[in-house]
Amino acid sequence: MANAARQRVPVADQDVEPNADQISWDFGTSAEEYRKLIHYLPVALWQVDTRGVSAPFDRLKAQGVTDIATYLDTHPELVEHAKDVVRVTAVNREAVSLLRGNSAADLVGPVRYVYSSTPDLAKRVMVAHFEGRRNFFEQTRIAAFDGTSVDVLFTVTYATPSQELDTSLLMMIDIGERLKAEAQLRQLQADFTHAARISTLGELATSIAHEVRQPLTAIVTNAETSLRWLAREDVTLPKLKQLTTRIISNARRAGDIVQRIRGMAAKREPGCASLDLNEVVDEALLFVRHDIESWSIDLSARYGTHLPKVTGDRIQLQQVVVNFLVNSIQAITQGSGLARRIELATTVDGDGSVVFCIRDTGPGIADENLERIFDSFFTTKGMGMGIGLAICQSIVVAHGGRITVSNHPDGGAQFRFSLPPGVVDQM
Amino acid sequence: MSKAALVAIVDDDDDVREALSDLVLVLGLECCAFDRAEALLAEFVPGAFDCIVTDARMPGMSGLRLLQRLRDLDASVPVIIITSDADSTIRSRALEGGAHAHLVKPIEARVLVVHLESALAGKWKGSPNG
Task: Render A268-286 in DSSP notation, one character per residue.
Answer: -PPP-EEE-HHHHHHHHHH
In this predicted structure, the answer to whether residue A28 has a pLDDT above a threshold of 80 is no
Q: What is the CATH number of the domain that holds A55?
A: 3.30.450.20
Residues ≥6 apart with Cβ < 8 Å to B15: A214, A215, A218, A246, A249, A250, A253
pLDDT, tens digit (0-9, with 9 covering 90-100), for A308-367: 999 888 888 888 898 888 888 888 887 777 788 999 999 999 888 999 999 999 888 877
Are residues A253 and A278 located together in one domain of the fold?
no
ipTM given for this complex: 0.87
Pick among A212, A214, A294 to test the B interface (most B CBs inside 10 A): A214
Q: What is the CATH number of the domain that holds A228?
A: 1.10.287
Q: Which domain holds residue A277?
A: 269-427
Model confidence at B2, in pLDDT bands (50, 70, 90)?
low
- Across the interface, do B130 and A296 touch by the CB < 8 Å criterion? no
Query: Does B38 touch chain A if contact means CB atoms closer than 8 Å?
Result: no
Domain limit, last residue, from A147, A174, A201 = A174
pLDDT, tens digit (0-9, with 9 covering 90-100), for A105-124: 999 999 999 999 888 899 99
Are residues A156 and A11 located together in one domain of the fold?
yes
Q: Which residues of B touch A246 (CB under 8 A)?
A: 15, 18-19
In this predicted structure, the answer to whether residue A278 has a pLDDT above a threshold of 90 is yes
**Taking Cα atoms as reference points, which of A317, A309, A308, A311 lies closest to residue A273?**
A311
Are residues A6 and A84 located together in one domain of the fold?
yes
Is the CB of residue B10 less than 8 Å from the CB of residue B36?
Answer: yes
How many CB atoms are located within 10 Å of the residue A273 CB?
Answer: 12
Q: Which residues of A touch B35 (CB under 8 A)?
A: none
pLDDT, tens digit (0-9, with 9 covering 90-100), for B26-43: 999 999 999 999 999 999
In this predicted structure, what is the pLDDT of residue A241? 92
Q: Indicate the residue type of A233.
A: E
Are residues A423 and A312 located together in one domain of the fold?
yes
Q: What is the CATH number of the domain that holds A397?
A: 3.30.565.10
Q: Identify which of A210, A221, A296 has the shortest CB distance to residue B19.
A: A221
Are residues A50 and A168 located together in one domain of the fold?
yes
Q: Which residues of A touch B127 (CB under 8 A)?
A: 228, 231
Are residues A259 and A286 located together in one domain of the fold?
no
Are residues A127 and A211 located together in one domain of the fold?
no
- Across the interface, do A209 and B84 touch by the CB < 8 Å criterion? yes
- What percent helix, strand, coil does chain B show, rounded to 5? 40, 20, 40
pLDDT, tens digit (0-9, with 9 covering 90-100), for A360-397: 998 888 777 777 676 544 444 443 433 467 778 878 88
pLDDT, tens digit (0-9, with 9 covering 90-100), for B38-79: 999 999 998 899 999 999 988 889 999 999 999 988 778 999
- Across the interface, do A224 and B18 touch by the CB < 8 Å criterion? no
pTM beyond 0.80: the answer is: no
Find the helix or strand (DSSP H, E) in which A404 lies.
strand A402-407
In this predicted structure, what is the pLDDT of residue A420? 92
In this predicted structure, the answer to whether residue A235 has a pLDDT above a threshold of 50 is yes
Q: Identify which of B23, B84, B105 has the shortest CB distance to residue A224.
A: B23
Model confidence at A277, in pLDDT bands (50, 70, 90)?
very high
Are residues A15 and A111 located together in one domain of the fold?
yes
Are residues A60 and A163 located together in one domain of the fold?
yes
Percentage of chain A modeled with pLDDT above 70:
78
Nearest-Cα residue of chain B relative to residue A205: B85
Residues ≥6 apart with Cβ < 8 Å to A26: none
Are residues A217 and A330 located together in one domain of the fold?
no
Domain limit, last residue, from A267, A295, A315 = A267
Is the CB of residue B32 less than 8 Å from the CB of residue B49?
Answer: yes
Are residues A325 and A427 located together in one domain of the fold?
yes
Cα A144 versus chain centre, distance? 29
**Taking Cα atoms as reference points, which of A40, A29, A34, A35 lies closest to residue A16?**
A35
CA A204, CA A198: separation in Å to the nearest integer? 10
In this predicted structure, the answer to whether residue A190 has a pLDDT above a threshold of 80 is no
Q: Provide mean pLDDT across the span A71-76.
A: 93
Are residues A294 and A374 located together in one domain of the fold?
yes
**Domains in chain B with CATH codes:** 6-120 (3.40.50.2300)
Q: How many domains is chain A partitioned into structurally?
A: 3
Model confidence at A11, in pLDDT bands (50, 70, 90)?
very low
